[in-house]
Amino acid sequence: CADDTTTAASYWETGLNELGVDSITLEMVVDDDDAPKKVATVLKSEWEAALPGLTVDTVTEPKKQRVQDLQEGNFELGLTRWGPDYDDPMTYLGMWCTDNSNNYGFWSNSEYDAILDECTTGDLCTELDARRTRLYDAEILVMEDAVIFPIYTAANATLVKANVTGIQFHPVALNRV
């Protein structure tokens, strides 16, 4: 369970013991904007409360500097955000292909790369159901290897007067009138 702090603390204690230390301090690079700073504050508080001996220092940077630091691997923890540009799993999954500039942890997995090749230029690129199944297999690899830790999905609340018509809402990209 994602909020099982007892299990997390047990794993944490085991890791500290294996390392022969009783505390660890990590730096988390965060955009110097209001929303990411608020998210970082909550994460820091929750992690430090659940994992005795953990200290998370936040380092706020302008977006351009944060992106550069993440792309160069100059970070221990990086808080970043990504929104879908188009309605397809590749809007996220393409990020973790070997050598992708958004693959901030420099993760590489030949099975993952092969699945994405199969789904973008290979036999499955036009077989929608089989493609989605294989892309789900790729997502499982990303999550099992802890390449990322999705925290939340952004949402918008919109009030529209009852007599206004013709607005189309989309789960991705921009809304159109």
Q: Which tens digit of pLDDT belongs to each residue from 36-64?
A: 999 999 999 999 999 999 999 999 999 99
Buried b (16+ CB within 10 A) or exposed e, 120-139: beeebeeeeeebeebbeebb
Q: Which residue type is seen at 58?
A: T
Return the pLDDT at 153: 79
Instruction: Return d(Cα 54, Cα 7) in angstroms, integer.
Output: 16
Q: How many residues does the chain have?
A: 177
- Please give the C-alpha separations between residue 161 and each of 22, 167, 175, in angstroms, as whole numbers: 58, 11, 17
Residue 66 scores a pLDDT above 90: yes
Q: What is the pLDDT of residues 105-130, one digit of tens each?
A: 899 999 999 999 999 999 998 999 99
Q: For 124-151, what is the mean pLDDT?
A: 93
Q: Which comes out higher in pLDDT, residue 154 or 27?
A: 27
Return the pLDDT at 139: 95
Residue 51: burial class (beta carbons within 10 Å; 0-12, 13-18, 19+): buried
Q: Which residue type is seen at 167?
A: I
Return the pLDDT at 117: 95
Residue 174 scores a pLDDT above 70: no
Return the pLDDT at 112: 97
